[in-house]
Structure 1
Amino acid sequence: MDYAAIDALRERHPAWRMLRATHAPLLLSFLGRFFVEEGHGASPEGEIIDALDDELYLRNGEDPENPRFKRDAADYLAEWASTDSGFLRRFYPLGTDEIHYDATPALEKAYSWVQSLHARPFVGTESRLQTAIELLRQIAQGTEVDPEIRLAELQRRKQEIEREIEQIEADPEAGLLDITAVRDRYQQFSSTARELLADFREVEENFRALDRSARERIATWEGSKGDLLEELVSGRSRIDSSDQGRSFQAFYDMLLSSSGQEELSALLERLTTIDELKADRSIRTVHHGWAEAAERTQLTVRQISEQLRRFTDDQIWLENRRVLDLVREIEGTALALRTGAPPEFGLELEQAGVDVSLPTERPLHSVRPASEVDSLLPPAEQEDVDTSVLADQVIVDPARLAARLRNLVPERGTALLEDVVTMYPVEHGAAELVGYLALDTDDIEVTTDEQEETVIEYDEAGRSMRARMPRVVVRRR
């Protein structure tokens, strides 16, 4: 980076301004502990003010004769969230009228840099080297187009696993890590876990910037609605197809899979049982923090789609209002013309005259004779009606389908529709499959992947049927 770029960062970047702030120690220590160490997300203003009041009381209690912080907690909080500072994000969440505050990526970066200034008693390097080598292996293996080379690499890894199995069978303590190697790997895991939360805030901020740009385009757009919708929809699809969007979606799907959650919970539980490691208890629930941060990021992306729907509704309202304005304008013009026509007002006719129809030339009214109506009909003959068709109606109960999904899919888990059908065979044919697609509840989300296709087989009226459809994914919230 050149001199001008660094000078611009020093003047404009919120993280740099945070380090130069007058009360930087208070700011970084309190906000870093509240949002980073304790893992709080967007929090109400009252909760943060109470915590900051306690912090100010402790700091001023160190020197009661000359307190360092003389302002109220609310004043400090408003200053840190102001446009000039940008240390916190201040907003109103949907459905509430209380101000909420959330950390910004700048706060994460400044707090992480200050933490890195501490001298670490132990710096692990072995696990990082192994991680770097493993990443290189994945890149090489994932980009190799020759299947024989990929098979040879898999055979080599298979032989290594077989040798490890033989060593453990001969010596049960073979391959165990010593406490130094365990500390090395734990240090890297702890650092990566916290960096993930910081990365989520940055990804969320990038998606929020796209949301703001969409709102600005809608507010200032003067062209046709179709052109703007095409531009906004293409921007929404670019989010999903970008490297950042695809990587985030892959992480989100892996994190919310039932098998991944069970394995991650078991591994974290095992980590906290190692007494020599003295692992932080908050690490045990770090995957819940990842899930909450990922959900907030997903919510930001969904707000862009919600903005498209609101724009369409607003445009319909504006178009209807424009029609009413035109009607009133026509009525006003008619009232103005009723008092007196303009000099050049009139109609030009090619005919020499106008046909006149006098009232006396019209025929007189003639009374029609009354008609008798016989509404009594002879009784109809009794007919044999097949009433069995009334019992042949197919009724699909959405509540029953939702109950099946709740029994099969755990909370925050996912499942494919073909797996659900395997556990609960189709009883009502295609109507039941459509019922799954139409489910819309608070805890169940049904999405389709147009890129992949699946075939579901079922029996209907004694015949074997096949339904070809996009892959359907069921998620529990």
Structure 2
Amino acid sequence: MDYAAIETLRDTHPAWRMLRADQAPLLLSFLGRFFVDESRGASPAGQIIDALDDELYVLNSGSPDAPPYPRPAADYLADWAAPEYGYLRRFYPLGSDEIHYDATPALEKAYAWVQSLQSREFVDTESRLQTAIDLLRQIDQGTESDPERRLRELERRKQEIENEIEALRNDPESGLLDRTAVRDRYQQFAATARELLSDFREVEENFRELDRSARERIATWDGSKGELLGELLGGRSRIDSSDQGRSFQAFYDLLLSSSSQEELSNLLERIAAIEELGVDGRMRHVHHSWAEAAERTQETVRRISGQLRRFTDDKIVLENRRVLDLVREIEATALRLRDAGVPSGLGLEFEETGVEINLATERPLHSVRPAAQVDSLLPPAEEEDVDTSLLAEQVIVDPARLAEHLRALIPARGTALLEDIVEMYPVENGVAELITYLALDDDDIEVVTDPEGETVIEYYESERPMRARMPRVEVRRT
């Protein structure tokens, strides 16, 4: 970096401004512990003010006559979130009416730099070298296009694993790390875990900046909707397709994997059980903090998509209103021309009240019907006990027999009443036989009913006297 770039950072970057502030010890110690060390996200203002009050009480109790921080905690918090400082982000989250504060990437960077100034009793050098070598191997293997060289490397690693297995069989303590090596690797893990949380804030800030720029463009845009959507979606696509976007998405997918979460939980619990490490309690659940930070980043992306959707809906309403205004303007113009006495030969006449327009986009898309599956093999019915005697009790009336009775009783061109006929030939099959008389339709027999007349026919059914009341019926021979 050249002189001008460094000078610009000194004057404009919030992290540098934070280090130069008179209140730097207070804000870095309190905010760094509250947000960074305790892995907190956005928190309500009341919760932060209570914690800051306790901090100020401790600091001011050393010199009650001239307290170093005499102002209320809420004033300090408001100053740190002011636009000219930018140490904190101040906002109202969705669904809440209380102000929330969240750390900025500048706070993370300033606090990490101050922490790096402290002298360390133990510097993890071996594990970093091992990690550097492993990364170089992954890059070499991932970019090697010759399959033979890749196979040779895999065979070498396979041989190393077999040697380790054989050594473990001969010596149960073979391959165990000593106390120094374990501390070395744990310190590197803890530093990487904290750096991941810091990186999440920076990624979230990048997406939030895209959200702000999208809102600004929407508020000031006066062109077509398609051009603006293309511009906004292009910016979102550039972030997703960037190295940072692809790396974050790969990390998020790996973190959401159930197998990865289970493995992380088991490993952290086993490492926390090693007493000589002195594992920080927060490290036992650091993967949950990763998931929460990643979810906050995804929530910012969802807000961008929601903003685009609301913009599209608003534009549709405005365009529909514009169409209605144009239609009313055309109708008003037509009425003025009619009242002004424009010749009738001018223009076109429609019998309909309007022109029916069928747009191509209104036609339904082709949908493939699912193949119908027919199973013609019916399952065998279960055996049931059926009373077959009911089949023998069915009443069957023979119309031909009744017609022969009528021909034998009524001469040609003669007429007889139905009650006289049943008196000569008594009813044997109950109502079914009477209905069959009414339904006779032979060539030489005609049945006529008189609704105004009434007759009562008596008969026996199962040796019980029965009576049927029905219209007066005459039977004629033609």
Structure 2 counterpart of 1:134:
134
Matches of 2:330 and 2:45, distance apart in 1: 53
Give the aligned residue type for 1:262. E
Matches of 2:107 and 2:3, distance apart in 1: 24
**CA deviation digits over 1:231-265, x for unaligned, max 9?**
22233222322211111111001111011011111
3-state secondary structure, aligned to 1:82 = coil
3-state secondary structure, aligned to 1:102 = strand
Cα drift, residue 33 of structure 1:
0.4
Matches of 1:155 and 1:27, distance apart in 2: 55
Matches of 1:346 and 1:76, distance apart in 2: 77
Matches of 1:116 and 1:350, distance apart in 2: 91
The within-5 A match list for 1:407-426 is none
3-state secondary structure, aligned to 2:175 = coil
3-state secondary structure, aligned to 2:89 = strand
8 Å contact kept, 1:268–1:284: yes
8 Å contact kept, 1:236–1:305: no
Structure 2 counterpart of 1:30:
30
Give the aligned residue type for 2:56. L
Structure 1 unaligned runs (5+)? 352-429, 432-457, 464-477
Cα drift, residue 323 of structure 1:
4.3
Matches of 1:66 and 1:233, distance apart in 2: 56
The within-5 A match list for 1:198-277 is 198-277=198-277
Query: Greater CA deviation, 326-335 or 217-226?
Result: 326-335
Matches of 1:44 and 1:26, distance apart in 2: 20
Matches of 1:111 and 1:35, distance apart in 2: 10
Equivalent of 1:347, from 333, 337, 342? 342
Structure 2 counterpart of 1:82:
82
Query: Greater CA deviation, 36-45 or 217-226?
Result: 217-226
Query: Greater CA deviation, 36-45 or 208-217?
Result: 208-217
Give the aligned residue type for 1:347. V
- Say whether residues 1:148 and 2:148 are aligned partners: yes
The within-5 A match list for 1:145-184 is 145-184=145-184
Give the aligned residue type for 2:283. I
Cα drift, residue 132 of structure 1:
0.3
The alignment-based identity, stated in percent, is 74
Structure 1 counterpart of 2:349:
none
Structure 2 unaligned runs (5+)? 347-368, 377-478
The within-5 A match list for 1:4-43 is 4-43=4-43
Structure 2 counterpart of 1:186:
186
3-state secondary structure, aligned to 2:102 = strand
Give the aligned residue type for 1:250. A
Cα drift, residue 39 of structure 1:
0.8
Matches of 1:459 and 1:323, distance apart in 2: 45
Two-structure CA RMSD over aligned residues (Å):
2.6
8 Å contact kept, 1:52–1:73: yes
**CA deviation digits over 1:268-316, x for unaligned, max 9?**
0011111111111110000000000000111111222111111111112
3-state secondary structure, aligned to 1:285 = helix
Cα drift, residue 459 of structure 1:
12
Say if 1:119 and 1:316 are closer, same or farther in 2 by CA, change over 3 A: same
Say if 1:334 and 1:294 are closer, same or farther in 2 by CA, change over 3 A: same
8 Å contact kept, 1:81–1:90: yes
Matches of 1:321 and 1:294, distance apart in 2: 41
3-state secondary structure, aligned to 2:18 = helix
Say if 1:350 and 1:197 are closer, same or farther in 2 by CA, change over 3 A: closer
3-state secondary structure, aligned to 2:95 = coil
Matches of 2:237 and 2:43, distance apart in 1: 31
Structure 2 counterpart of 1:292:
292
Give the aligned residue type for 2:51. A
3-state secondary structure, aligned to 1:89 = strand
3-state secondary structure, aligned to 1:101 = strand
Matches of 2:213 and 2:190, distance apart in 1: 35
Matches of 1:271 and 1:292, distance apart in 2: 22
Say if 1:134 and 1:84 are closer, same or farther in 2 by CA, change over 3 A: same
Give the aligned residue type for 1:103. A
8 Å contact kept, 1:254–1:260: yes
- Say whether residues 1:116 and 2:116 are aligned partners: yes
Structure 2 counterpart of 1:312:
312
Matches of 1:33 and 1:100, distance apart in 2: 17
The size of the alignment, in residue pairs, is: 353
Say if 1:333 and 1:9 are closer, same or farther in 2 by CA, change over 3 A: same
Matches of 1:333 and 1:82, distance apart in 2: 57
**CA deviation digits over 1:126-178, x for unaligned, max 9?**
00000000000000000001111111100000000000011111000011111
Matches of 2:375 and 2:193, distance apart in 1: 55
Matches of 2:333 and 2:344, distance apart in 1: 23
Give the aligned residue type for 2:259. S
Give the aligned residue type for 2:290. W
Cα drift, residue 317 of structure 1:
2.1
Cα drift, residue 230 of structure 1:
2.2
Matches of 2:88 and 2:332, distance apart in 1: 54
Matches of 1:39 and 1:331, distance apart in 2: 65
3-state secondary structure, aligned to 1:145 = coil
Structure 2 counterpart of 1:379:
none
3-state secondary structure, aligned to 2:90 = strand
Matches of 2:250 and 2:214, distance apart in 1: 25
8 Å contact kept, 1:88–1:102: yes
Cα drift, residue 208 of structure 1:
1.1
**CA deviation digits over 1:56-108, x for unaligned, max 9?**
11111111121111111111111000100000011111111211110000000
TM-score, normalised to structure 2, is 0.70
Structure 2 counterpart of 1:45:
45
Cα drift, residue 332 of structure 1:
8.9
Give the aligned residue type for 1:97. D
8 Å contact kept, 1:60–1:69: yes
Matches of 2:372 and 2:251, distance apart in 1: 37
Query: Greater CA deviation, 20-29 or 224-233?
Result: 224-233
Cα drift, residue 346 of structure 1:
6.0
